[in-house]
Amino acid sequence: MQKNYKMILGYDGSRYSGWEHKTGRDTIQGKLVQVLGHLTDEPVHIIGAGRTDAGVHAKGMVANVVLDTELSDMELKDYVNHYLPEDIVVYEMTEVPERFHARYNAIGKTYQYRIYDGRQKPLFDRKYVWTTEKKTDVERMREGATYLQGTHDFAAFCKNPQKKKSTVRTVDRIEIERDNDYVTLTFHGDGFLYHMVRIMTGTLVQVGLGRMEPSQIAKALATGERTLAGVTAPSQGLTLVQIDYPAR
Amino acid sequence: MQKNYKMILGYDGSRYSGWEHKTGRDTIQGKLVQVLGHLTDEPVHIIGAGRTDAGVHAKGMVANVVLDTELSDMELKDYVNHYLPEDIVVYEMTEVPERFHARYNAIGKTYQYRIYDGRQKPLFDRKYVWTTEKKTDVERMREGATYLQGTHDFAAFCKNPQKKKSTVRTVDRIEIERDNDYVTLTFHGDGFLYHMVRIMTGTLVQVGLGRMEPSQIAKALATGERTLAGVTAPSQGLTLVQIDYPAR
């Protein structure tokens, strides 16, 4: 009997060409299709809550997949973890109602971006941070973040906006915390455009380095001019942390 | 003019065949010789405080090297860090008296070993821990550690002991701490034999898993029988943390 499974996943995105399956490339979705494909003769369709770019990590990606299997939830999870490579982990795999759709039902997402601005080169976490040349001023970054919070047209904070699709999004929370030489930016919103978290981060870092005025963010939002926003922060500092769904 | 430099180093040992230079192999010492070799026409001799095995990491390795250079300490450190691969970092590089010898002058060493015994696969730190199949009992491990502490003949805790060389060492401190699914073992002593920290760890883990009685450690020490001690813990969980030298 066909059953619908919700999966919560973590992955180290360093060596992957992102979430979405591409022929001839290593992708997270591709690895999952490969492993789950051993359980069934039918084609396996995995629906992710969203797509993460090449090099982006995850601690709480959500996906769903319809499978016809006799295995219990626990056996299924153990099976998948056993055959997945060591840089992809399935934390939860549970049967859910047929109507559950990881993308359509998602109502919120949390991303974290980690910056390292210490004097020494980072070592053991060098693949999970963006190292800036100078110290960043967290107070200035927080000031810049106040402009980004709320409901705006984020066209200036998006790569290749599509004319027919809305670029309005709501970012209801941006937290910026320093822990010694590490600065973590946490973004929560109803959804994010292509490269949006990385462009918001790159912009806030330029503000934090004193290379851009916080108020320029308001101008970028108002005009939709990509060139008024900052650089795109590299993918390796970014982690998808959580996807929210309505309480049942 | 020839000057003697003391270096404090960190490295991710994952892709190296250990500290010591071997032709045709990637080693930490080899990489340092290569980079420092650009500064001089003389052969470069780097003296490490000790050797770390293939796959072992370091946060506080110490080495010294005699160089004839006009660069300031700071310039020298920046130069070396710029040309070293991203998995080796020089934290300090300072001129020291000619008589300083990283190996002969070392009077103590601290190693840390990290175990992970959670139910999920480890992800972002998977290269820096040893994952055990079951939960380890920290209290039992601490009981086992009391037998190892002190001055003993550690012949049973050494790979290939050499007949002519003493296998007596003093381990004055073993601390075992749990932090959620992680157990960290910290060893401090005057010096350690080949594989000694890894065999002590493997033995304590077997005690912690209930597969060996703590008192068997006393028997292993008394008889010098390697087979009475436990397995050799894998290198990837081990980090050389600090080398002590006499206060001037």
For the stretch B134-147, pLDDT in tens is 999 999 999 999 99
pLDDT higher for A1 or B149? B149
Question: Which amino acid is located at B34 in the chain?
Answer: Q
pLDDT (tens digit, 9 = 90+) per residue, A50-83?
999 999 999 999 999 999 999 999 999 999 999 9
A59, A81, A121: residue with CB nearest B86: A121
Reply yes or no on whether B53 is catalytic. Answer: yes
pLDDT (tens digit, 9 = 90+) per residue, A155-203?
999 998 777 889 999 999 999 999 999 999 999 999 999 999 999 999 9
Q: Burial level of B221, CB count in 10 A (0-12/13-18/19+)?
A: buried
A interface test, pick of B35, B83, B124 with most A CB neighbours within 10 Å = B124
pLDDT on residue A175 = 98
Distance of CA A217 to the CA centre of its chain: 22
Chain A nearest-CA residue for B77: A120
Between positions 89 and 128 of A, the ones with CB within 8 A of B are 89, 91, 120-121, 123-126, 128
pLDDT on residue B215 = 95
- Give the bridge partners for A186, in sequence order: A112, A175
Chain A nearest-CA residue for B86: A123
- Pairwise CB contact (< 8 Å): B11 & A123: yes
A81, A121, A128: residue with CB nearest B121: A81
Number of residues in chain A = 248
B interface test, pick of A12, A121, A131, A181 with most B CB neighbours within 10 Å = A121
pLDDT on residue B40 = 87
Q: How far apart are CA B118 and CA A37, in angstroms?
A: 28
Question: Which amino acid is located at B194 in the chain?
Answer: Y
User: How close does chain B come to A62, measured CA to CA in Å?
Assistant: 16
Q: Burial level of B133, CB count in 10 A (0-12/13-18/19+)?
A: exposed
Only one residue has tokens 């008889």, namely: B223
Q: How far apart are CA A65 and CA A76, in angstroms?
A: 12
- Give the bridge partners for B10, in sequence order: B89
Q: Burial level of B227, CB count in 10 A (0-12/13-18/19+)?
A: exposed
Is 0.95 exceeded by the ipTM?
no
pLDDT on residue B147 = 97
Q: How far apart are CA B207 and CA B140, in angstroms?
A: 6
pLDDT on residue B1 = 82
pLDDT on residue A23 = 84
B12 touches chain A (CB under 8 A): yes
Q: What string of H, E and C letters represents the secondary structure of chain B?
A: CEEEEEEEEEECHHHCCCCCCCCCCCCHHHHHHHHHHCCCCCCCCEEECCCCCCCCEEEEEEEEEEEECCCCHHHHHHHHHHHCCCCEEEEEEEEECCCCCCCCCCCEEEEEEEEECCCCCCCCCCCCCEECCCCCCHHHHHHHHHHHCEEEECHHHCCCCCCCCCCEEEEEEEEEEEECCEEEEEEEECCCCCCHHHHHHHHHHHHHCCCCCCCHHHHHHHHCCHHHCCCCCCHHHEEEEEEECCCC
Catalytic residue among A12, A26, A41, A53: A53
Tokens coding B215: 């008192």
Chain B nearest-CA residue for A57: B124
Q: How far apart are CA A237 and CA A76, in angstroms?
A: 31
**What count of Cα atoms within 13 Å lies in the side-chain half-sphere of residue B134?**
10
10 Å Cβ neighbour count for A226?
17
- Pairwise CB contact (< 8 Å): B124 & A126: no
**What count of Cα atoms within 13 Å lies in the side-chain half-sphere of residue A217?**
27
Tokens coding A62: 């959500």
Burial B23-49 (b: 16+ CB within 10 A, else e): eeeebbbbbbbebbeebeeeebebbbb
Helix (H, G, I), strand (E, B) or coil at A71: coil
Average pLDDT, chain A: 95
B77 touches chain A (CB under 8 A): no
Name all contacts of B139-144 with Cβ < 8 Å and 24+ positions apart. Answer: B140/B207, B140/B208, B140/B210, B140/B214, B141/B176, B141/B183, B141/B185, B141/B204, B141/B205, B141/B207, B141/B208, B142/B176, B143/B207, B143/B214, B144/B203, B144/B204, B144/B207, B144/B208, B144/B212, B144/B214, B144/B217
Helix (H, G, I), strand (E, B) or coil at A224: coil
Cβ A69 vs Cβ A206: under 8 Å: no
pLDDT on residue A62 = 98
Q: How far apart are CA A112 and CA A213, in angstroms?
A: 23
- Check whether A136 has a pLDDT greater than 90: yes
- Pairwise CB contact (< 8 Å): A57 & B11: no
Compute, in degrees rounded to 10, the torsion defined by CA atoms B135, B140, B141, B143: 170
- Pairwise CB contact (< 8 Å): A89 & B120: yes
User: How close does chain B come to A119, measured CA to CA in Å?
Assistant: 9
Chain B nearest-CA residue for A80: B121
User: How close does chain B come to A95, measured CA to CA in Å?
Assistant: 19
Average pLDDT, chain B: 95
pLDDT tens track, chain B, 248 positions: 899 999 999 999 999 999 998 888 999 999 999 999 999 888 899 999 999 999 999 999 999 999 999 999 999 999 999 999 999 999 999 999 999 999 999 999 999 999 999 999 999 999 999 999 899 999 999 999 999 999 999 999 999 877 788 999 999 999 999 999 999 999 999 999 999 999 999 999 999 999 999 999 999 999 999 999 999 999 999 999 999 999 86
